[in-house]
Amino acid sequence: MSLGEVEVSVTPEEKFREFLQTKNLRMTRERATIVEHVFSSHEHFEAEQLIQQLAEQRVSRSTIYRTLKHLEEAGLIRKVARQDARDVFEHDYGYPQHDHLICKKCGTLIEFHQEKIAEVLTGVARDHGFRMEGHRLEVFGLCDNCCRPPKTRPKKLNLL
Amino acid sequence: MSLGEVEVSVTPEEKFREFLQTKNLRMTRERATIVEHVFSSHEHFEAEQLIQQLAEQRVSRSTIYRTLKHLEEAGLIRKVARQDARDVFEHDYGYPQHDHLICKKCGTLIEFHQEKIAEVLTGVARDHGFRMEGHRLEVFGLCDNCCRPPKTRPKKLNLL
DNA sequence: TTAACTGCAAACGTTTTGCAGGCGG
DNA sequence: CCGCCTGCAAAACGTTTGCAGTTAA
């Protein structure tokens, strides 16, 4: 998306395979299908979407949930937000660190990057003897579009 | 807690009553009981805790969930995190703005305040034409205690 | 060969809802 | 009084799990 990509030496599939090996787990057709699909675009996604999109490739609901867990543990994806009652994921591997503005009205996720935030958090963690491993920052509000309601610009001299 | 309190002119109960009026809702015994209980301490809490603690005061599960929604809409409380599968709430009214370090091991929530974060976010929002209303920042990692595993400091010259 | 994997359906835990009676303003 | 409120039990929701057959290594 807008933030560009990070140079990576290993494909997500390979990285996942390496992770699986360290855990004595196996690369299966289903897992390969899921990683490939997930990393075929940089969109945010939810479990339910994958389930529907991968149904015709014969990947079951359970396998998708189970694999998402592994992908998260492998550091390939991460939960970025919660919308309605569902977890929203995105790539964590091969994608620069960033956070999100979340429109309460239309649900759009706008990515942004601000070095300062990580800096501040590093300091805070140090002050508390906290070993920081990551963070999730959700900024709520109204996006540019939803701010100005009268999108329906009434053509002058209509009825009346 | 550690961050002190904010000077407020209106009690939470009063503020809630005002909110209810603007929405044509009513202050009932159950709602009063809940607000009072929630604001009797500054602890983080979950719905289930309230349900158990207020059972003897005859407040039902449904009423608690329904009231939590109202309290959140009224700006009296906010969701600060999700632990296991449950939402964690805290006071939003009469309590200074802050964020949390969350220990992945013991679940402790450590509050911290950093002016810089709000500043940065204000700038980011402006740049995106985003009308910011609030944010939720969860910093994951290991707390001071859980960092150093050998808490069981073996007394020198014990066995052996 | 064997331990990990899969799909299915049933189970789960939290949160929501329909309903019939109760009560605040 | 009217319309919002409550408790109850059942439903809904996303997610997890037990199981018996399947498959990677």
B108-131 pLDDT tens trace: 999 999 999 999 999 999 999 999
The string of pLDDT tens digits covering residues A111-127 is: 999 999 999 999 999 99
The string of pLDDT tens digits covering residues B18-57 is: 999 999 999 999 999 999 999 999 999 999 999 999 999 9
The string of pLDDT tens digits covering residues A57-103 is: 999 999 999 999 999 999 999 999 999 999 999 999 999 999 999 99
Mutate to test the interface with B, among A88, A131, A142, A147 (most CBs of B within 10 A): A131
Residue in chain B closest to A124 (alpha carbons) equals B112
Q: Which residues of A touch B101 (CB under 8 A)?
A: 124-125, 128, 130, 132
Burial tier of B121 (Cβ tally within 10 Å: 0-12, 13-18, 19+): buried
pTM as predicted:
0.89
- Residue B159, CA atoms < 13 Å, CB-side half-sphere: 1
Is the minimum distance from the CB of B66 to strand C below 7 Å? yes
pLDDT at A64: 98
pLDDT at B148: 80
Question: Domain limits of chain B?
Answer: 1-96, 97-160
CB contact under 8 Å between B141 and A132, yes or no, is yes
Q: DSSP for A84-141?
A: TTEEEEEE-TTS---EEEEETTT--EEEE--HHHHHHHHHHHHHTT-EEEEEEEEEEE
Say if CB A70 and CB A86 are below 8 A apart: no
From B21's Cα to the closest Cα of chain A, the distance in A is 24
Q: Which CATH class name applies to B1-96?
A: mainly alpha
The answer to whether B51 contacts chain A (CB < 8 Å) is no
The string of pLDDT tens digits covering residues B86-109 is: 999 999 999 999 999 999 999 999
Residues 35-54 of A with CB within 7 A of strand D: 46-48
Closest residue (CA to C1') to nucleotide D7 in the complex: B60
pLDDT of B155 over the 60 cut: no
Q: Is B131 helix (H, G, I), strand (E, B) or coil?
A: strand
The amino acid sitting at B105 is K
What residues contact residue A111 under an 8 Å CB cut-off, 6+ apart?
Answer: A1, A2, A3, A98, A99, A100
pLDDT at B7: 58
What residues contact residue B114 under an 8 Å CB cut-off, 6+ apart?
Answer: A120, A124, B99
Q: What is the mean pLDDT of chain A?
A: 91
Q: Is B117 helix (H, G, I), strand (E, B) or coil?
A: helix
Of A101, A125, A132, the CB nearest to B130: A101
> Structure tokens of A61?
């609901």
- Binning pLDDT at 50, 70 and 90, where does residue A39 land? very high
Query: CA A44, CA A109: separation in Å to the nearest integer?
Result: 8
- What's the CA B26/C1' D2 distance, rounded, in angstroms? 14
Residues 72-91 of A with CB within 7 A of strand D: 84-87
Query: CA B158, CA A142: separation in Å to the nearest integer?
Result: 63
pLDDT at A159: 47
Query: CA A87, CA A81: separation in Å to the nearest integer?
Result: 6
Is the minimum distance from the CB of B27 to strand D below 7 Å? no
CATH number, domain B97-160: 3.30.1490.190
pLDDT at B1: 47
pLDDT at A9: 78
Q: Is A30 helix (H, G, I), strand (E, B) or coil?
A: helix
pLDDT of B77 over the 80 cut: yes
Point out the nucleotide closest to A31 (alpha carbon to C1′): C5
